[in-house]
Chains A and B, each alone.
Chain A
Amino acid sequence: MAMSKRKRAEYIRYAQYGILIVVVLLVAFLADWGQIRRAFFNTDIAASMFPNVITVALKNTIIYTALGFAFGLALGLVLALMKLSTVGPYRWIATVYIEFFRGVPALLVFIGIYYGVPIAFQMQFPPLTTVMLALGGVGAAYMAETIRAGLQAVPKGQVEAARSLGMSSGRAMITIVIPQAFRIILPPLTNELILLTKDSSLIYILGLFREQYELTKFGRETLSRSPSLTPILIAGLCYLIITLPLGYLSRYLEKRTGGKKVSVV
């Protein structure tokens, strides 16, 4: 017998709730909650991680990310300007750089920089410099495309007005276009910062000292001395302390600037 469309939609919705309840019950009965609590929520181990997880690991994660972001932003801006250059070779170099560093895993880049740069330049960089080069070098590839889009989103009339007042094209770029472009791309740049925060975990391969550990390395190191995954959970929660507010900020900025910018071609 044919069922009315409305009736059918209603049954489908019941079925969805039904499946959800069955899955939740299965998980609740089959999982060994005592074991899970010991594995993830060992309060003694959690307590032993403080205050170092904050004062050393979280602090270092923030420092590494900030350094990488600052360097990546500067290099990304240079790459974006190169991509928009009238000089062909600049455009090609920028394209190759961006495609390469976006296309290969960040971990490979870090290994390459850690082992390769000292060989290439016959010198050992301080760890912070290596971290900055590695994180920033990868971040720049992602940010360059965002910045380029932002530069192109600034209306042409702004440049014409600047030029008609006697500004050179470079002056107009620095004084008028770049500041406006950054306003436009603030939300996506905040997202890049979140991605970079998480990528900073990969610098564990750089063989850092104890006081240089960031969150992931700190968590793994604590893990190796404890019979519980609690350190990993704590480290993960610490990342959220950084990334959740940034995500909120990004959405807020998007809402604030989003409405107006739609008209910008």
Chain B
Amino acid sequence: MSDICVEIIGLKKSFGPLEVLKNIDLTVNRGDVVCIIGPSGSGKSTLLRCVNLLEEPNGGKITVNGTDLTDPDVDIDRARTKIGMVFQGFNLFSHLNVLNNLMVAQRKVLKRSESQAREVALRNLDRVGLRDKVAAMPAQLSGGQQQRAAIARALSMDPEVMLFDEPTSALDPELVGDVLGVMRQLADEGMTMLVVTHEMQFAREVADKVIFMDGGYIVEEGPAAEVIGNPQEERTQSFLARVLDPTHHGPKDPV
């Protein structure tokens, strides 16, 4: 199997007259954790959502697990079963309990048997530490628990890559650690991950590669220690200065 899991070439995406992604090239190797950072409106979430075609690109080519997603004849539903996605707002199915949230797509999409789907679901709930919440409804869980259940739901499809769209941005600060802990454990297990995040500490410690985006371009990319620890581009420096030390800079006084 090839070492490349996600390959993006010349990706372009516009919303009406607004060009959100301008010619993005990005490669994610199998087993790598790639963190995408950048100011809001820089196109990071849109880039991530293009990787499983929740947003339709206007140009360029996206290949995931050897499947060209931009091919008009691609079986996108089939391709998506191998691409797990975790959302900022969790998006657990509110009418199903935790176990059924994890089982419904296994049953209806992968056509797994009831017992097999249940076994996979329980194994993944163990992984995220929610075994005791099988029967709970999403509304009865804290944000951190909901997000971990959502991660377990994506894992239950046995994906080859996981996409995380600001997975901790909607959480109360004291709940962020649980979710990041699960993600770190996934990374340690060798999962290929593409993470849009504002958690610089996580990016610095876990990411194999960090990408800084601004204004629809990839401004800087490289190992975490370099991009976060020793940024070369001025825009990266100014962004990191504001994120890492928000109280010491006025809005018009970057760096």
Q: Which of A155-185 contact B (CB under 8 A)?
A: 155, 157-158, 160-168, 171, 175-176, 179-180, 183
> Quick check: B54 and A165 within 8 Å, CB to CB?
no
> Quick check: B52 and A167 within 8 Å, CB to CB?
no
B112 in contact (CB, < 8 A): no
Q: Select from chain B the residue with minimum beta-carbon distance to A182.
A: B95
B9 in contact (CB, < 8 A): no
A260 in contact (CB, < 8 A): yes
> Quick check: B54 and A164 within 8 Å, CB to CB?
yes
Number of B interface residues in the complex (CB < 8 A):
26
Residues of B within 8 A of A (CB): 52, 54, 77-78, 80-81, 83-85, 87, 89, 91-95, 104-105, 108-110, 139, 150, 153-154, 157
Number of A interface residues in the complex (CB < 8 A):
19
Residues of A within 8 A of B (CB): 155, 157-158, 160-168, 171, 175-176, 179-180, 183, 260
A33 to B78, CA, bound (A): 77
Q: Select from chain B the residue with minimum beta-carbon distance to A180.
A: B95
> Quick check: A165 and B95 within 8 Å, CB to CB?
no
A155 to B78, CA, bound (A): 24
Given known contacts A171-B109, A175-B108, is B93 in contact with A164 (CB within 8 Å)? Answer: no
A162 to B87, CA, bound (A): 12
Given contacts A160-B91, A166-B78, 20 further A-B contacts (CB under 8 A): A155-B91, A158-B91, A160-B87, A161-B85, A161-B87, A164-B52, A164-B84, A164-B85, A165-B80, A166-B81, A166-B109, A166-B157, A167-B77, A167-B105, A168-B77, A171-B108, A175-B104, A175-B108, A179-B95, A180-B94
Residues of A within 8 A of B157 (CB): 165-166
For the complex formed, measure the closest distance between the CB of B103 and the CB atoms of chain A, giving whole angstroms. 11
Q: Select from chain A the residue with minimum beta-carbon distance to B80.
A: A166
Name, among B81, B95, B157, the residue most crowded by chain A CB atoms within 10 Å (CB to CB): B95
For the complex formed, measure the closest distance between the CB of A6 and the CB atoms of chain B, giving whole angstroms. 47
Residues of A within 8 A of B105 (CB): 162, 165-167
A167 to B52, CA, bound (A): 13
> Quick check: A165 and B87 within 8 Å, CB to CB?
no
Q: Select from chain B the residue with minimum beta-carbon distance to A164.
A: B85
